[in-house]
Amino acid sequence: MKTASLLLVLLMCAACLTAVAQKKLTTIDRAALAQEVRTEFLHCWNAYKKYAWGHDGLKPLSKTPYDWYSSTLYMTPLDALDTMILMGLKEEADSTREFIATHLSFDHDMYVKNFEITIRMLGGLLSSYQLSGDERLLKLADDLGTRLLPVFKSPTGMPYVDVNLKTGAVRNPRTNPGEVGTLLVEFGALSKLTGKKQYYDIVKSAVVQIYNRRSPVGLVGTWINVETGEWVDADSHVSACIDSYYEYMVKCSILFGDQDFKKMWESSILAIKTYLADETPTGLWIGHADMNTGKRTKTWFGALDAFFPAVLALSGDVPTAARLQESCFKMWNKHGIEPEQFDYALMDVPNDPKWERYFLNPEIMESAYYLYQYTQDPRYLEMGKVFFEGLKNFCRCDGGYAELKSVKTKEKSDRMESYFLAETWKYLYLLFAPPETLDFKHTIFNTEAHPIRKTW
């Protein structure tokens, strides 16, 4: 009898919890939020068109344009194009695509950053080509790929940082695993779509060069010289300069079915879990360690590191991804918006104002989106809503959305990077949008959120 009543109480509790969960679901109006995100995207896009049309980007406080180099590469329109397509902004997307197809030229005597141009522009051209079928975009991608390839002509095969688009001259041999290892989703897709094998082979062997230089404990450092092959900074972490090196191991193993990347990921994640992961009273974090000894050097995590739950989830480890995302959420909630760096031993920004900045980064939204895809847990919709509120409250301005000088004071700074339109708004929109908006299971996003499908 006693057991029967206990069972009844338990069943009633379970029913209550389900009701709470359902109620929670009904408090999130996904359709309304998707619509609102779209409106905010348009606020940024219209500001760009009004104040910075034809340039790489917009400074939203002074309402003035900026370019990265001596000639514009139309970075914001190209980065934003597939977001418009996915949001169903057909007229905007069609006219932007037409403008890019008829105006964009890479025939400029200027040095560009290989990594940034690959993830933003090559990635953007390939995804918009796949989404629109416009062959002119594939032609532009092929032209860009050809102009970038000389960057790999170093003694080790790892790319220099900069390459001249016209002459093929290269400069700056000091690079990092992120810039070497985050090129193959784009060059590999270009290779498959054009039938030009060299794109895949040259870029893959550069990644292998970094991987082969991992330490005896299986970690990589932050800076390496592509001419000598020597590490020049042994700090190991999953933050800026290393982050997407790991991301592309998982993504390339899925997109190209390349087993070498599967093996690289398996040995790397083991080293990350052994030496970088940090179980603390506030939850799971990924900190810093010396690449050679594996010894903990810093208890820092940051806005960029928040991509890691998405990668863990994509690799099949949803439980660890979910735990890490809870830590990311704590980082966000400390000041209502996330800082560039967070010391999880202090549970606050490290004591230096330079780490208080927020660059409109998308990674934490990206991870919420992935986790929602795998779990359908409304918790991630709730998180998305909190992120959206934070952005609107602290970054919105008349001329678009602005980065923050400090998440503590909320003082703004005059910059809105193109990835804010390519990534941040896209992941937030996809989190709330109907599932048919994008076939998640058959899509690999490059690190700039440009969706690539295996059509080959």
Q: Is 411 a catalytic residue?
A: no
Q: Which of 306, 330, 285, 333 is nearest to 427 (CA)?
A: 306
The two tokens of residue 126 are 């390939």
- Which candidate, 375, 261, 252, 366, places its Cα nearest to that of 320? 375
Check if 340 is active-site.
yes
Active site residue 227: no
Give 303 or 378: the residue with its C-beta nearer to ligand DMJ.
303
Per CB under 6 A, residues contacting ligand DMJ are: 244, 304, 361-363, 419, 423, 447-448
**Could you tell me if 397 and 420 are in contact, meaning their C-beta atoms sit under 8 angstroms apart?**
no
Q: Least Å distance between CB 294 and ligand DMJ?
A: 25
Quote the least distance from Cβ 302 to ligand DMJ, whole Å.
Answer: 10
Residue 118 Cβ vs ligand DMJ, minimum distance, rounded to whole Å:
11
**Do residues 435 and 369 touch, judged by C-beta distance below 8 A?**
no
Give the closest residue to 375 by CA, choosing from 422, 312, 303. Answer: 312
Give the Cα separation of 60 and 48 in Å (integer): 8
CB atoms within 10 A of CB 379: 17
The active-site residue, picked from 243, 247, 343, 423, is 243
> Strand, coil or helix: what is 193?
helix
Strand partners, 231: 224
Out of 56, 82, 186, 340, the active site residue is 340
403 is catalytic: no
Crossing angle of helices 318-335 and 308-315, in 10° steps, is: 170
Burial class (CB within 10 angstroms; exposed 0-12, middle 13-18, buried 19+) of 155 = exposed
Q: In angstroms, give the least distance from the CB of 360 to ligand DMJ.
A: 8
Residue 261: helix, strand or coil by DSSP? helix
Q: Which of 82, 92, 179, 363 is catalytic?
A: 363
- Within 10 angstroms of residue 233's Cβ, the number of other Cβ atoms is 13
- We find the least distance from the C-beta atom of residue 417 to ligand DMJ, in angstroms, to be 7
- Least separation in angstroms between residue 342's CB and ligand DMJ is 15
Nearer to ligand DMJ, 315 or 361 (CB): 361
Q: Annotated catalytic residue: which of 36, 67, 116, 326? A: 116
Distance, in Å, from the CA atom of 206 to the CA atom of 115, rounded to the nearest integer, reads: 13
Residue with smaller CB distance to ligand DMJ, 134 or 243: 243
Which of 378, 384 has the CB closer to ligand DMJ?
384
CA angle (51 as vertex; 46, 53 as ends), nearest 5: 75
Nearer residue to ligand DMJ within complex by CB, 112 or 215: 112
| Contact in structure between 181 and 152 (CB atoms under 8 Å) | no
User: Annotated active-site positions, please?
Assistant: 116, 243, 340, 363
